[in-house]
Amino acid sequence: MLRGRVRDQALPAGGAGLTGLVEEYLTDRRRVRLEYDLYLAAARDPALRPLAEAWLHGFRDLLEPRLGLEAARAVVALLDGAMLQALVTDADLDGPALTAAIRHLHTR
């Protein structure tokens, strides 16, 4: 899981570490699609929301000590969007663009 890798790994500065982890995470598209299915199911079924929210907040909480709360929230939203686009288009992640966006969010 992506969260476990973030927790266990020292991330290089500048966003490249997170980009690499996201690229690795996306190699198992089936698993990633299942996790996004949980998000959609939670949007329809309030009983599933605590599980989906725990995932969302847990990832943010792992990044917060490294990036600060505001940047962690922004980076999580960015990563979710980038992964969703990769799933929908069945395309490879644009690593350099994602790294630049993470760097921008972290340094603003």
Q: 43: burial class by Cβ within 10 Å (0-12, 13-18, 19+)?
A: exposed
The class (CATH top level) of 13-107 is mainly alpha
Cα gap 79→101, rounded to integer Å: 10
pLDDT at 11 exceeding the cut of 60:
no
Q: Taking the mean position of all CA atoms in its chain, how far away is CA 76?
A: 5
| Domain spans of the chain, in order of start | 13-107
Indicate the pTM of the whole model.
0.81
pLDDT in tens, 16-72: 888 998 999 999 999 999 989 999 999 999 999 999 998 888 889 988 888 889 999
pLDDT at 13: 56
pLDDT at 17: 85
